[in-house]
Amino acid sequence: MKELLQIKDLYVNFRTLWGIAKVLNGVNLTIHKGEVFGLVGETGCGKSVTALSILRLLPSNAEVSGKILFKGENLLEKSEEEMRKIRGKEISIIFQDPMTSLNPLFKIKDQMIDVIMLHEGLEKERAIEHAKKLLKAVGLPADRVLNSYPHELSGGMRQRVMIAMALSSNPSLLIADEPTTALDVTIQKQILELILDLKNQYNFSVLLITHDLGVVAEVCDRVGVMYAGNIVEITETEELFENPLHPYTKGLLSVVPDPRQKKPLKPLRGSVPSLINPPSGCRFHPRCDHMKDICKKAKPELIEYSSGHFVACHLYGGDLDD
Ligand code: SF4
Ligand code: MG
């Protein structure tokens, strides 16, 4: 089986004081074994909500429907106890800011050993050995780091610690939610390279969430572009950059400053829509230069336009022949 994770028609609504926010509007995507799948889009488009849905960590005001098949089993039908076993063991997550996940009051040793003992059922001595091995694998001086408090480490080192902890149970899927956004450029590059190295070594898949197309270009095998709760395009990374189909993707690519050409920034017009009263039909229509009548009425489905290249736009569905 090539597919590790399949998300099918995932809808997530949040009940809020202001009304119902329709945050995911039928997300469909597949992550293959051993690949790095990038999920890209502007802040608030639903990338993190997608990640938290997979782990079933959404807040209690969320209403979820659809299917999330992991190794063929629907995570949305698992009990809380079954999910606890899957989280951290089968699917791990790292976030932008490791400080939110590390306890400032305890040495790294105490935090790592606890996680390893819990997940792996190891004795303390064995857990310490395992922790050292993992810290070395992420390029850290194991003894020194184990005896440090989080604030004694740099941001890059803390993120390496989080990666080591995420890998401690040998997961099949690592979700990395903006893992390098808080780091400076050189450290970013090192962390991304580290994730790639470890992926090749340990053979897990990566769901890499980012708003940075440069990061996508560097590390992702395939990419899903999200806009306002929908996946609007999925394809291989090279194909996305060479032959983007969706007007939103084209817009995103045109705002990426090309360091060689010094192209001026051309921002997309308009702004990300409200998810409480989202635009009808194609949610991108108020910002789209190609908008036709049907775009206001019908939501475009994600179709395979050419081999492995999926797009959700009426320009490619044959609906605009008139
Ligand atoms: Fe633009 Fe219509 Fe395509 Fe939406 S469906 S991106 S509005 S052309
Ligand atoms: Mg986010």
In a domain, 61, yes or no: yes
pLDDT tens track for 187-201: 999 999 999 999 999
- Helices assigned H by DSSP within the chain: 47-54, 80-86, 108-120, 124-137, 142-146, 155-167, 185-202, 213-219, 237-242, 247-255, 293-297
Give the closest residue (by CA) to ligand 1 atom 5. Answer: 313
pLDDT at 227: 96
pLDDT tens track for 225-235: 999 999 999 99
Distance CA 114, CA 121 (A): 10
DSSP, res 87: B
* ipTM of the complex model: 0.97
Ligand 1 neighbourhood includes 283 CB (under 6 angstroms): no
In a domain, 52, yes or no: yes
Q: What is the pTM of this model?
A: 0.93
Per cent of the chain over pLDDT 70 is 94
Distance CA 120, CA 114 (A): 10
Ligand 1 neighbourhood includes 281 CB (under 6 angstroms): no
Total tally of structural domains belonging to the chain:
1
Domain CATH for 28: 3.40.50.300
Distance CA 235, CA 238 (A): 8
pLDDT at 261: 53
pLDDT tens track for 44-103: 999 999 999 999 999 999 999 999 999 999 999 999 999 999 998 899 999 888 777 899
Residue in 122, 161, 118, 166 with CA at minimum distance from that of residue 142: 161
Ligand 1 neighbourhood includes 70 CB (under 6 angstroms): no
Ligand 1 neighbourhood includes 253 CB (under 6 angstroms): no
In a domain, 141, yes or no: no
For all residues of the chain together, what is the average pLDDT?
A: 92
Segments forming the whole domain that contains residue 7: 1-90+207-292
Burial of 33 (0-12, 13-18, 19+ CB in 10 A): middle
- Give CA separation, 227 vs 9, 50, 253, 271, in Å: 15, 12, 14, 11
Distance CA 225, CA 23 (A): 15
Sole residue written with tokens 């206001």: 296
pLDDT at 268: 78
pLDDT at 320: 52
In a domain, 313, yes or no: no
pLDDT at 321: 47
Strands laid side by side in the 36-40 sheet: 91-94, 173-177, 205-210, 36-40, 222-227, 230-236, 309-311, 303-306
pLDDT tens track for 288-300: 999 999 999 999 9
Query: Strands 62-70 and 3-16: what pairing?
Result: antiparallel
In a domain, 112, yes or no: no
Ligand 1 neighbourhood includes 291 CB (under 6 angstroms): yes
In a domain, 173, yes or no: no
Angle subtended at Cα 55 by Cα 70 and Cα 24, rounded to the nearest 5 degrees: 90
In a domain, 142, yes or no: no
- For ligand 2, the distance from its centroid to the CA atom of residue 259, given in whole angstroms, is 26
CA-based end-to-end distance of the chain: 42
Which ligand 1 atom is at minimum distance from the Cα of 296? 7
The one-letter amino acid at 124: K
- For ligand 1, the distance from its centroid to the CA atom of residue 6, given in whole angstroms, is 25
In a domain, 301, yes or no: no
Distance CA 2, CA 118 (A): 30
